[in-house]
Amino acid sequence: MLWLQLRNELWKLFGKKRTYIGFLMFLLAQNLVVLIFRFSNAARGMKNTLEGNGYLPDEFISSLTIATIMLFPIAYMMLPLYVSLVGGDLVAKEAEDGTLRMILSRPISRIRLLMVKWLAGVVFSVASVLALGVFGVAFASIWFPWGGLFAFIPGELFSVFNATDGLSHYTGAHLLMAYKATTVMTLAFMFSCFNVKPAAATILALSFVFLNFILMNIPFFKDIQYWFLTYHLNLWQFMLAQPIPVTRIWESVSILTGFNLTFLLVGCTVFQLRDIKS
């Protein structure tokens, strides 16, 4: 029965054109980044850094490296936008359209309905990250050869892997990114359970994320930055570190789990108590 209900939610979700906006934008953004790297001097700085550290650039300016480079802006900016768009729609859009009233004339508990909808949101979040990872490598492979992975964030990250290890780290980063996507989706889902328009739920979720990011970067809050959601959302990039900071990842996973449970609890409580009217 749960499977049937989840399948139905997925039909509803993936039957809508707007669900695919995120996938489409990922395709466009990834192809744009690949073409910029292929037909401009954008890779020169990376080559210099590699050469300066004693590595052969030709081994590491690869499809895996380009796919990883394009991952950063997309994961920071676009992924939260599209998962919160879907998360914000899950309940509020049905309430706005009036289909929620039809559903709630059925003998299904509100909590079960929410859980089924949330699971559909999780499937979407995982699918988005999967698409991001697979499309990234696929498009980069058209213009760049297969090779090692070079990940570099000035002052934070400098890692060089051979192709096999690089692929493992790239895959691991996507696994954790799926958790980030799920968390942002759950945040939007929580707001969606309130009596608000779907757009408002999305905007509230994104505002919460941006506010966390801004506060976290104010020097005054530096000592307590680990209390902010955004400090833990980017745990995926630690999978690209050498060596992987396992304790730090577990810490973030635990705290994000706490955030997710809190968002779900608040959402369920609000939804359980509210009146559903036409």
Q: Which is nearer to another protein, 109 or 254 (CB)?
A: 109
Residue 230: closest CA among 248, 255, 247: 255
- Smallest separation, CB 18 to another protein (Å): 10
Would you say 117 or 232 has its CB closer to another protein? 117
* Paired strand residues for 151: 159
Using alpha carbons, select from 250, 63, 204, 49 the residue that is nearest to residue 142: 63
Instruction: Write out the residues near another protein by the rule CB under 8 A.
Output: 1, 4-5, 8, 11-12, 15-17, 97-99, 101-109, 113, 273, 275-278
In the complex, the smallest distance separating the C-beta of residue 277 from another protein, rounded to whole angstroms, is 6
* Residue (222 or 277) nearer to another protein, CB: 277
The amino acid at 26:
F
Contact criterion met (CB below 8 Å) for 94 and 12:
no
Angle between helices 63-73 and 163-192 (to 10 degrees): 20
- Judged by CB, which is closer to another protein: 195, or 262? 195
Q: How many residues are given for the chain? A: 278
The tokens describing 256, both together, are 């994000």
Nearest to 20 by CA among 78, 66, 86, 84: 86
Shortest distance in whole angstroms from residue 94 CB to another protein: 9
User: Are 60 and 149 contacting, i.e. CB atoms less than 8 angstroms apart?
Assistant: yes
Q: Which is nearer to another protein, 116 or 160 (CB)?
A: 116
CB of 272 to another protein, least distance (A): 9
Q: How far is the CB of 79 from another protein (least distance, A)?
A: 25
